[in-house]
């Protein structure tokens, strides 16, 4: 008996130690211990419940609605919570006063609505129905895998809908979108809840606060806009205010589609939107105007100088079809503008399909020496379109430019044109820049943009040519952030390539010399493959 008591005490202390460690991890936002910490509510230790409830509340409160939905799908799958606990006998309501605040108690109930035990799950959703913020969690249970829980969720959601504030209703709309896509739902129940939500929103749509909607999470805003602009629920001034202040292109597309479908849109209004700061809205306004007029209009040529590529392309299409304008001559004329970037890019876009594109490149090449980085970057992009792989020397020169945006543009030209400078050249060049970093006294953990692009290009080289140089890079302490990329590239080796004996010997020599840098299993796999390659 004494031994049994001692053993129980030892296990209890060990359990509390592990639980305290999991709670500390959760407070540091490591959610891997979420289900373990939740088991604290099944104990009779008030302090453990208080600290566990607070940690769970901290995590849940900071979650977006998308994260909540993902958690609802995966929480019960992380680990079994029913090995040593009979959750049917756990009455969470008796422990309400053990938590530090009502909000902590609510988050315990909310997470409990995702619990693997149906009895406990139902008890949690019924208990939380009266708390602020409960509606999204109740709606998510409308597709619960237990019929009784679905019915309880429907009753609780209908009751909560009568009194909940609008922001809670908006979050629940995203949950309802998720439930509608599921297979377990009762179609009539979900449709009824959706109808009640729509009626409630119709009643209060006129009092919507635009700033409050715009402050919400992007995923929630999508659901709100899909509802608001599925009919004429707002006055036109408010609808246009949403379009003018919304920054995300998908949300803008939903709003714009609703405006065109349910609101009057004149040519004058389209002209106003052609001046909108959002390139997406400008493009949609342009498409709408062309759809209505079905011809070119005075001033459409000005859109050839828009900063957006899609708008320039559409303007060029309209002018080619409905006018005699020489578009390349138009762009050449505007090269003398104070900001020649659109004209430079336009020459590249319109000239890349022509036979005389090399002659057009001569118009653009002088701008590679321009003092403005934006102009040089635009000129590089245009040269890439006009010269293709023949501009390799130019791209290489600007790849090594100390200005990050110029180096990036050159890197993109090399990638888009399928140019492979060679693994040895790329590795040697990045070694020069590594040494220049060290000479300049920079932090060993920092990697300049030039080295970054050289390494990314090296990864694109032939799998066997790059292999020894990737191994050399693995041992470089300043490239820790690239380690996963380098190892991933080493794992990908072409089984159809031919490796000559000299190259195979070099690879084996590097593997032997840098044995500590390469995982043993990977090294064995490379040596094994070489038996069939060489």
Residue whose C-alpha is closest to residue 145's, from 175, 116, 176, 174: 116
pTM for the structure as a whole: 0.74
Question: Which band of pLDDT confidence, cut at 50, 70 and 90, is reported for residue 7?
Answer: very low
**3-class SS of residue 295:** coil
Interval 73-94 mean pLDDT:
75
Interval 367-380 mean pLDDT:
96
Question: Which band of pLDDT confidence, cut at 50, 70 and 90, is reported for residue 54?
Answer: very high
The per-residue pLDDT for 443 is 44
pLDDT at 353 exceeding the cut of 90: no
Q: Which of 271-280, 282-291, 397-406, 427-436 has the lowest mean pLDDT?
A: 427-436
pLDDT at 437 exceeding the cut of 70: no
Residue whose C-alpha is closest to residue 501's, from 460, 470, 464: 464
Domain at 326-418: CATH code: 1.25.10.10
Q: Residue 299 — φ and ψ, nearest 5°?
A: 95, -5
Structure tokens at 104: 């902590």
Q: Which of 59-68, 203-212, 253-262, 390-399 has the lowest mean pLDDT?
A: 203-212
Q: Domain ranges in the chain?
A: 326-418, 420-534
Interval 190-204 mean pLDDT:
87
Q: Which of 205-214, 281-290, 308-317, 459-468 has the lowest mean pLDDT?
A: 205-214
pLDDT tens, 21-45?
888 888 888 887 888 888 888 888 8
pLDDT at 446 exceeding the cut of 50: no
Residue whose C-alpha is closest to residue 49's, from 59, 61, 37: 37
The per-residue pLDDT for 444 is 42
Long-range pairs, 357-364, Cβ under 8 A, ≥24:
357/386, 357/387, 358/386, 358/387, 358/390, 360/328, 360/386, 361/386, 361/387, 361/391, 363/332, 363/335
pLDDT tens, 95-144?
999 999 999 999 999 999 999 888 999 999 999 998 999 999 999 999 88
Beta carbons within 10 angstroms of residue 499's beta carbon: 22
Beta carbons within 10 angstroms of residue 372's beta carbon: 14
Q: How far is 513 from 436, CA to CA, in rounded Å?
A: 25
Contact criterion met (CB below 8 Å) for 398 and 406: yes
Q: How far is 276 from 271, CA to CA, in rounded Å?
A: 9
Q: How far is 32 from 48, CA to CA, in rounded Å?
A: 18
Per-residue b/e over 210-246, b at no fewer than 16 CB within 10 Å? Answer: eeebeebbeebbbbbbbbbbeeebbeeeebbebbbeb
**3-class SS of residue 85:** coil
pLDDT at 13 exceeding the cut of 80: no
Q: How buried is residue 82: exposed, middle or buried, by Cβ count under 10 Å (0-12/13-18/19+)?
A: middle
Mean pLDDT, rounded, of the chain: 88
The per-residue pLDDT for 208 is 80
pLDDT at 173 exceeding the cut of 80: yes
């Amino acid at each position: 008996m004494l031994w049994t008591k001692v053993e129980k005490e030892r296990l209890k202390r060990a359990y509390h130690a592990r639980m305290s460690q999991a709670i500390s991890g959760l407070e540091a936002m490591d959610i891997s211990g979420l289900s373990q910490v939740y088991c604290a509510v099944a104990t009779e230790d008030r302090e453990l419940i208080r600290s566990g409830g607070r940690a769970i509340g901290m995590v849940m409160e900071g979650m977006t609605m998308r994260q909540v939905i993902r958690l609802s799908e995966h929480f019960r799958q992380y680990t079994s919570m029913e090995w040593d606990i009979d959750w049917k006998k756990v009455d969470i309501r008796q422990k309400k006063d053990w938590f530090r605040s009502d909000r902590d108690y609510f988050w315990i109930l909310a997470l409990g609505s995702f619990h693997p035990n149906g009895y406990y799950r139902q008890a949690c959703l019924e208990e939380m129905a009266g708390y602020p913020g409960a509606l999204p969690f109740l709606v998510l249970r409308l597709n619960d895998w237990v019929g009784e829980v679905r019915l309880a969720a429907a009753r609780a959601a209908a009751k909560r809908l009568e009194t909940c504030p609008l922001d809670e209703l908006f979050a629940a709309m995203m949950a309802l979108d998720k439930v509608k896509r599921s297979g377990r739902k009762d179609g009539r129940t979900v449709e009824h809840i959706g109808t009640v939500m729509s009626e409630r929103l119709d009643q209060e749509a006129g009092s919507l606060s635009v700033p409050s909607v715009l402050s919400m999470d992007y995923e929630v805003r999508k659901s709100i806009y899909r509802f608001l602009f599925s009919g004429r629920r707002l006055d036109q001034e408010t609808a246009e205010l949403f379009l003018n202040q919304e920054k995300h292109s998908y949300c803008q597309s939903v709003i714009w589609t609703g405006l065109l479908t349910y609101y009057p849109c004149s040519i004058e209004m389209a002209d106003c939107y052609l001046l909108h700061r959002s390139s997406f809205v400008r493009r949609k306004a342009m498409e709408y105007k062309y759809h209505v007029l079905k011809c070119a209009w005075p001033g459409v040529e000005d859109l050839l100088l828009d900063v957006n590529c899609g708008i320039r392309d559409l303007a060029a299409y309209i002018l080619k079809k409905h006018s005699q304008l020489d578009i390349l001559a138009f762009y050449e004329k505007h090269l003398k503008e104070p900001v020649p970037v659109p004209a430079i890019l336009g020459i590249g876009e319109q000239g890349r399909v022509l036979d005389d594109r090399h002659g057009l490149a001569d118009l653009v090449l002088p701008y590679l020496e321009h003092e403005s980085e934006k102009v040089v970057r635009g000129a590089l992009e245009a040269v890439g379109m006009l010269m293709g792989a023949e501009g390799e020397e130019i791209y290489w020169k600007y790849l090594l430019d100390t200005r990050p945006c110029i180096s990036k543009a050159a890197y993109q030209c090399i990638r888009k044109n399928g140019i492979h400078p060679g693994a040895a050249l790329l590795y040697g060049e990045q070694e020069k820049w590594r040494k220049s970093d060290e000479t300049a006294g920079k932090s060993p953990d920092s990697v300049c943009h030039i080295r970054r692009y050289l390494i990314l290009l090296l990864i694109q080289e032939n799998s066997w040519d790059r292999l020894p140089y990737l191994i050399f890079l693995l041992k470089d302490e300043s490239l820790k952030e690239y380690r996963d990329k380098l190892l991933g590239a080493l794992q990908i080796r072409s089984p159809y390539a031919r490796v000559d004996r000299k190259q195979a010997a070099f690879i084996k020599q590097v593997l032997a010399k840098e044995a500590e840098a390469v995982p043993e299993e990977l090294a064995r796999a490379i040596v094994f493959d070489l038996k069939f390659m060489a």
